[in-house]
Amino acid sequence: MSLSDLSEKSPTGELKAVKSITNWRDLFMMIVVLFKMRIVFLLLMAATGGAFLAAGGWPGLGKMALIWLTGGMAASGASSLNQYLERKSDGNMGRTKKRPLVNGDIPNPNWVPWVGIALIILPSAAVFPTNPALAFFLLLGAFIYVVIYTIWLKPRTLLNIVIGGAAGSAAVLSGSAAVGHWNDPGALVLALILFLWTPFHFWSLALLYRDDYSRADVPMLPTKTTPHQAAWWVMSHTIPAGLAGLLLVILPSLGWVYFAPMLLVTADLFWRNVKLIKDPSPPHARSLFMASNIYLTVLLLIIFIDSVQPFLKGV
C-alpha cells in the first residue's frame, strides 16, 4: 500500500499532510502511542505489585490474567481519551506533536473516544457481578485520569498532577481487589507511594519541557514557579515517597532482600534531587526523571521477588 497525502487542518488550525499507515510496524507504533502503552505497562506493574502484596506472594495465573486484561483495557481506554481531549494542546508541544492524533496518522479521530469509552466500560461491567471492588477501581482510575485530571485540573491549576497521581493509586488497588483484599495494608502503602511518586516524576519532566508547557498554556507547576522553587516542590514529594517505600519492609512478606536495594535507590533519588536544588538545570532534571523511573522499577521488581520467596520455598 502506497502513501497517499491529503490536505487537512491540524488541531491547531494549520494545514498538514495526512498519511496513511503503510505497514504493520507503523500500525503497531501508532497503537503504542495512541493508547500510551508504556504508561499502561507501568500501571499494570503497579497493579501487579498490589496483587502480590495483598496475596502475600504469587496471586495465581488466573488472577494475573484478570489484572492484566481488565487493567490493560481500562488504562488504554483512558489514555486514548486523554490524547483525544488534548490533541490541540499536543500540537503546540514539541514532545507531543508527533502523536497520531496530531501528525495526521489518524485523519478522522471521531472513533477514538468511542473505542476509549468501550475499553473502560466493557471490562468493568464484565467483572462487576463477581468482583465489584475491582470494577470500582478500574472505573475510578479512568475517571480520575480523564475527568478529574485531563478535563478539570490540568488546564486550571498548577497542582493538577498532585490529584492526578491518584489514578496510579487506583491501579494498585485494582490489583489488590482482583485477589480479594483491596484494603490490604501493604497495597494501601504502595498506593500511597504511587500517589507521592507521580508528582515528582512529572515535575522533573516538566522542568525539561518548561517552554513546551508554557507555549501550550498548561499550568504545570514548573511553568508557574522558578526552577529552583520547583526543585524544592519535587523534594517535598521525594522524601515522603522514599520513606513510604522503606516502610514497606515491616510487612511479613518482605525483608532484607527488599530493604537493601530500596535503601540504595532511595538514597540515589534523594541525592539527585539535592543536585537539582543546587542547580535546577535540564541535565539535572533529566537525571532525576530517569532516577524516578529506576526507583519505581526497582521497588516493584523487589516486591515481586521478595513476595514469592516463601511460595518458591514451598514448591
pLDDT at position 7: 41
Instruction: Report whether pLDDT(54) > 90.
Output: yes
Look at residue 1 and tell me if it is in a domain. Answer: no
Q: Average pLDDT for residues 74-95, to the nearest whole number? A: 93
Q: Is 172 helix (H, G, I), strand (E, B) or coil?
A: helix
Percentage with pLDDT > 90 across the chain: 74
Query: Quick one: angle between helices 256-278 and 227-247, nearest 10?
Result: 170
CB 296 within 8 A of CB 197: yes
Look at residue 162 and tell me if it is in a domain. Answer: yes
Domain count for the chain, please give it: 1
* Half-sphere exposure of residue 300: CA atoms within 13 angstroms, side-chain side: 22
What's phi and psi for 106, nearest 5 deg?
-120, 90
| Start-to-end C-alpha separation, the chain | 53
| Long-range Cβ contact pairs of 22-25 (< 8 A, separation 24 or more) | none
pLDDT at position 310: 58
Look at residue 253 and tell me if it is in a domain. Answer: yes
CB 107 within 8 A of CB 137: no
Model confidence pLDDT, tens digit, residues 178-219: 999 999 999 999 999 999 999 999 999 999 999 889 888 889
pLDDT at position 197: 96
pLDDT at position 215: 87
Look at residue 173 and tell me if it is in a domain. Answer: yes
Supply the range of the domain harboring residue 140: 6-313
Look at residue 134 and tell me if it is in a domain. Answer: yes
pTM of the model: 0.89
pLDDT at position 21: 59
Residues in the chain: 315
- Candidates 45, 32, 54, 258; CA nearest to 168 is 45
pLDDT at position 92: 87
pLDDT at position 5: 38
Higher pLDDT, 27 or 114: 114
User: What CATH number is attached to the domain comprising 129?
Assistant: 1.10.600
CB 95 within 8 A of CB 209: yes
**Residue 132 pLDDT level (bands cut at 50, 70, 90):** very high
Q: Average pLDDT for residues 33-58, to the nearest whole number? A: 95
